[in-house]
Amino acid sequence: SSELTQPPSVSVSPGQTASITCSGDKLGDRYTCWYQQKPGQSPVLVTYEDSKRPSGIPERFSGSNSGNTATLTISGTQAVDEADYYCQAWDSSTVFFGGGTKLTVL
């Protein structure tokens, strides 16, 4: 199965570290990327090829992928990071998205 499972919500205090997980069968055998989406806006790529960051994405965003779980980590979380986050992977040229995680910074 290529289904990707994310927790519906994660809460974090400002300045703390937020971790958002994405689970799937043998996910670590495939590249995973992550998107941030704020209300009314298009998704923005924040990590790709498991752990790389596009230009312009702050260093506090990092990714990892091993076994059956990929993780997006936001260090020193800021209020501006409050958003929905989606993981994405692929299998046999087919793209799959996780269900999304709402990150609340409070």
Partner 1 sequence: QVQLQESGPGLVKPSETLSLTCTVSGGSISSYHWSWIRQPPGKGLEWIGHIYYRGSTNNNPSLESRVTTSLDTSKNQFSLKLSSVTAADTAVYYCARLQLPDFRLDYWGQGTLVTVSS
Residues that bind partner 1 (CB under 8 A): 30-33, 35, 37, 42-45, 48-49, 54, 86, 88, 90, 93-100
Residue (18 or 33) nearer to partner 1, CB:
33
- Separation CA 38–CA 67 (nearest Å): 29
Residue type, 71: T
Question: Measured from the CB of residue 53, what is the shortest distance to partner 1 in angstroms?
Answer: 12
- Give least dist CB 37 to partner 1, A: 8
User: Does residue 56 come out as left (phi exceeding 0), alpha (psi in the -120 to 50 range) or beta?
Assistant: left
Q: By C-beta, is 15 or 58 nearer to partner 1?
A: 58
Residue 94 CB neighbour total at 10 angstroms:
8
Cα(36)–Cα(43) distance, rounded to whole angstroms? 5
| Least separation in angstroms between CB 45 and partner 1 | 5
Question: What is the spatial distance between Cα 31 and Cα 83, in angstroms, rounded to a whole number?
Answer: 23
Closer to partner 1 by Cβ: residue 48 or 75: 48
Nearer to partner 1 by Cβ, of 45 and 68: the residue is 45
